[in-house]
């Protein structure tokens, strides 16, 4: 994946930049969070000895011991429910669901308790945990291994939904998620795990920890005092590429698609702005409105099936808030409304550059 043109939270450009994978950034974020705060613990299926099937937790059990990073019996409701209990009693659990569809047995715990406990106790019992979910396709996975399930969680009040699209964000947003006083469902685009970008994790760590302590507590943004809403930096969308003619709105795995499409469009003289939402809940309406009001046209690009999806929500919000700026209907480029298809056919299902460009062509440029 290409590094975004605009990365406001990138590390000090003077620092030595090494090619770093998304997976390494997540791993380092967990490791740093555990080092910084003894109540952070990591558990799930195969996350201990094996280091996770994607190796995101590699080395954590060795470094922090089996009390801090451990395998559980194979039961996702158990994982989510035990995490909720540990969070009630002073811990900050970070749990891994092995694949998107395998988180479903935990949905009752997530919807009925993790999302609601803070509210039903009038704020007296907060559930500061992170549920990490590798999601999406593009990795040749067989059935049940490639769902994009963010809409289920995004529709559930009480959860925060983060999904990073860059290596730096993989680090910074996971740190923020761990420090958040609210439960965060952290969606990791699995097709990005082995993508590399030149990133100095050490510098990011300093940046994050200075920022977090500046703002006097967990969830603090990098800029001291710059977070009156308490959303943290992770709660803000980022313009990944500036443009003037059309806004490509995306998150997670499709930010790269949007950037590539913008690149292509530029060759045809169309200047596309790419917005990386980063957080689906809370939602950065200000950033969304700003880009659409600037360009007057928008395409939402997301992998999940489109019906009743987050992409649908974004379209709805754009037309609710920017109606009079729109020169053309907002278009969606999403997965089809079918079960995720097999490795041999996934390329026909996933939004790709051509499909974004097709949508772009239909934006009534003649008007």
Partner 1 sequence: MDEEITADDGRRPAVVPEEPRQSDEPHEPLAHEKAEQAARIEQTSRSFGITPEQYMLPAAQQIRMLSPDGSLIPEEEQGTSAGHEYPVPEDEALLAAYEALVVGRRINDQNYALVRQGRLAVYPSSHGQEACQVGAALALGADDWMFPTYRDSVAIMTRGVDPVEVMVSFRGDWHCGFDPIAHRVSAPSTPLTTQLLHAVGVAHAAKLRGEDTVVLAMCGDGATSEGDFHEALNFAAVFEVPVVFFVQNNGYAISVPLSHQSAAPSLAHKAIGYGMAGEQVDGNDMVAVLATLRRAVSLARERSMPLLLEATTYRMQAHTNADDDTRYRDAHEVELWRRHDPLTRVQTFLSSRGVLDDDAASRISDRAEEVAASLRTAMTADPPIDPLEIFDHVYAAPTAQLREQRAQLADELARGQED
Ligand X SMILES: Cc1ncc(C[n+]2csc(CCOP(=O)(O)OP(=O)(O)O)c2C)c(N)n1
Among a second copy, partner 1, ligand X, none, partner that 160 touches (CB below 5 to 8 angstroms by kind): partner 1
Burial (CB count within 10 angstroms: exposed 0-12, middle 13-18, buried 19+), residue 142: exposed
Going 9 to 235 to 155 to 133, the CA torsion angle's sign is: positive
Which residue among 13, 229, 267, 367 contacts partner 1 (CB under 8 A)? 229
Nearest distance, CB of residue 247 and ligand X, angstroms: 38
**Span of 105-113, 176-184, 187-195, 241-249 interacting with a second copy by CB under 8 A:** 105-113
Q: Residue 281 is encoded by which pair of tokens?
A: 């809940």
Which has the closest alpha carbon to 26: 132, 183, 153, 182? 132
List the interface residues with partner 1, window 13-72 (CB under 8 A): 41, 45-46, 48-51, 53, 67, 71-72
- Token match 């809409």: residue? 151
Nearest distance, CB of residue 101 and ligand X, angstroms: 8
Is 72 among the residues that bind ligand X (CB under 6 A)?
no
Q: How many CB atoms neighbour CB 274 within 10 A?
A: 31
Which has the closest alpha carbon to 71: 100, 96, 37, 101? 96
List the interface residues with ligand X, window 50-69 (CB under 6 A): none
Closer residue to partner 1 (CB): 90 or 216: 90
C-alpha–C-alpha distance, residues 234 and 257, integer Å? 21
Is 126 among the residues that bind partner 1 (CB under 8 A)?
yes
* Distances from the Cα of 299 to the Cα of 91, 186, 285, 359, angstroms: 41, 24, 16, 7
Cβ atoms of 179 and 218 closer than 8 Å: yes
Catalytic residue of the set 145, 155, 324, 348: 145
Is 45 among the residues that bind ligand X (CB under 6 A)?
yes
Nearest distance, CB of residue 330 and a second copy, angstroms: 6
Question: How many residues bind to ligand X according to rule CB under 6 A?
Answer: 5
Nearest distance, CB of residue 335 and a second copy, angstroms: 9
């Amino acid at each position: 994946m290409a590094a975004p043109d605009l990365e406001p939270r990138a590390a000090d450009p003077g620092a030595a930049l090494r090619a770093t994978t998304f997976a390494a950034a997540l791993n380092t974020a967990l490791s740093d969070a555990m080092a910084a705060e003894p109540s952070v613990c990591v558990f799930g299926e195969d996350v201990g000895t094996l280091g996770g099937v994607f190796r995101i937790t590699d080395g954590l059990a060795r470094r922090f011991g089996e009390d801090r990073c451990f395998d559980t019996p194979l039961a996702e409701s158990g994982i989510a429910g035990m995490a909720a209990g540990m969070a009630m009693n002073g811990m900050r659990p970070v749990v891994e669901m092995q694949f998107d569809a395998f988180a479903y047995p935990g949905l009752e715990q997530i919807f009925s308790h993790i999302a609601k406990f803070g509210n039903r106790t009038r704020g007296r019992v907060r559930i500061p945990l992170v549920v990490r979910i590798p999601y999406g396709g593009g990795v040749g996975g067989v059935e049940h291994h490639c769902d994009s399930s963010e809409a289920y969680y995004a529709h559930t009040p009480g959860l925060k939904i983060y999904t990073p699209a860059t290596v730096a964000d993989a680090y910074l947003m996971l740190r923020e998620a761990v420090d958040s006083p609210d439960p965060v469902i952290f969606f990791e685009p699995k097709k990005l795990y082995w993508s590399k970008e030149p990133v100095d994790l050490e510098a990011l760590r300093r940046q994050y920890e200075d920022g977090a302590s500046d703002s006097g507590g967990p969830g603090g943004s990098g800029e001291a005092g710059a977070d009156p809403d308490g959303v943290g930096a992770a709660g803000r969308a980022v313009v990944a590429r500036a443009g003037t003619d059309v806004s490509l709105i995306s998150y997670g795995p499709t930010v790269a698609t949007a950037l590539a499409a913008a690149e292509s469009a530029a060759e045809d003289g169309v200047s596309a702005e790419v917005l990386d939402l980063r957080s689906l809940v809370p939602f950065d309406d200000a950033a969304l409105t700003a880009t659409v009001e600037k360009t007057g046209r928008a395409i939402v690009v997301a992998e999940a099936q489109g019906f009743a999806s987050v992409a649908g929500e974004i379209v709805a919000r754009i037309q609710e808030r920017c109606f009079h700026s729109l020169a053309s209907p907002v278009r969606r480029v999403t997965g089809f409304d079918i079960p995720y298809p097999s490795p041999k056919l996934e390329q026909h299902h996933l939004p790709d550059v051509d499909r974004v460009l097709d949508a772009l062509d239909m934006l009534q440029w003649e008007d």
